[in-house]
Amino acid sequence: MAEVGLVVFARIAWEVGQAVLPAYRTRFSKHQFTQPQLLGILCLMRYEDWTFREAEVRLGEHCELRQALGLRSVPDFTTLYRFLQRVDERTLARAVDEAVRRLSGVGSGGRKRARVAVDATGLASGAVSTFFVRRLHHHGQKPLPWRYWLKWIVVVDLDRQCVLAQMARRGPWNDCASLPLVVQAASEQTPIGLVLAEAEFDSERNHTYIRQRLRARSVIPAKRGKKAWRIRGVRAEMRRAFPRRLYRHRARIESVFSSVKRKLSARAPGHLLSMQQRQALLLGLSFNLYRLKHFCFPMNMSTKPNDF
């Protein structure tokens, strides 16, 4: 028998998919599986860190999951893979917005403007342990080959602890110029009053964008440099009188990253970069659904909603 929490998660994922996707892509579709059903299965895969073949096997074993998704039969793993290839970033962004909207209805009401934090973390593209790779090359007396990884950049609501906006790209990469893009996407969903970010995003342009375009407060520590360097504007203010007590709240986004990697997955599998990016965006959507499940069904929880 499937876990009750897993069945509830599948039902919520299906409902969110119905709100953002039509039942069928074209009128020439086979009408065997709907797009919301397939999106719900992909979210289940991210929630349980299944492969495509494992998802097919698990759905075949548990009739409760099939009933929660409204499935009359189990889709083949190739059907899931091809659907993931067709899902674009806009669709996943709409699904994230829908989950945030539902969280706003059941979360803390009355709060006018959100306090958000921006940060990035790395996701593995496979299941091979990094420690194993380093140890292998250490004993073989061979230089460690340069490897790329996937950087997942997110905007997190610090009070509701959910993902407001996200993007993924191949690392290493300087994420400083990415801050206006993700913050703008988050502001379209939720009014923002405070933006916290680490020194990686430090630039006068980012401060100006947040304060003039969004009418919000920005707290970003100025990068360390030579004493001869002269900085002006908001960056000079950050160096002269940095609000340390306010900046401490940024640690909550690290708690969100830890929760995602411990409870869901730390991987974004895929041979192609485009598939890895979709897997990372699905990870953010699945985390919001995980939070929504805890808010809507507190009796099925083993921990509190804010217990990270």
Rg value, the chain, Cα: 21
Q: Which two tokens stand for residue 201?
A: 């995003």
What pLDDT score was predicted for residue 13? 96
pLDDT of 277 over the 60 cut = yes
What pLDDT score was predicted for residue 4? 52
Measured CA to CA, the distance from residue 215 to residue 47 in angstroms comes to 36
Better-scored residue on pLDDT, 210 or 1:
210
pLDDT tens by residue, 21-43: 999 998 888 889 999 999 999 99
What pLDDT score was predicted for residue 236? 87
Better-scored residue on pLDDT, 45 or 125:
45
Measured CA to CA, the distance from residue 215 to residue 210 in angstroms comes to 6
Full set of structural domains in the chain with CATH:
4-86 (no CATH), 111-268 (3.30.420.10)
End-to-end CA distance of the chain: 28
Identify the band that residue 223 occupies on the pLDDT scale cut at 50, 70 and 90: confident
Overall average pLDDT of the 143-162 stretch: 84
| Helix (H) / strand (E) containing 137 | helix 130-139
Sign for the CA dihedral angle at 53, 22, 265, 166 comes to: positive
Query: β-pairing, 217-219 with 149-157?
Result: unpaired
Full-model pTM: 0.87
Measured CA to CA, the distance from residue 16 to residue 43 in angstroms comes to 11
Beta carbons of 37 and 73 less than 8 angstroms apart: no
* DSSP one-letter code for 75: P
What pLDDT score was predicted for residue 159? 92
Identify the band that residue 306 occupies on the pLDDT scale cut at 50, 70 and 90: very low
What pLDDT score was predicted for residue 148? 74
Residue 215: CB atoms within 10 A of its CB come to: 12
pLDDT tens by residue, 177-209: 999 999 999 999 899 999 999 999 999 999 999
Residue 82: CB atoms within 10 A of its CB come to: 11
Measured CA to CA, the distance from residue 20 to residue 93 in angstroms comes to 10
Beta carbons of 156 and 250 less than 8 angstroms apart: no
- Tokens 């899902």 label which residue? 87
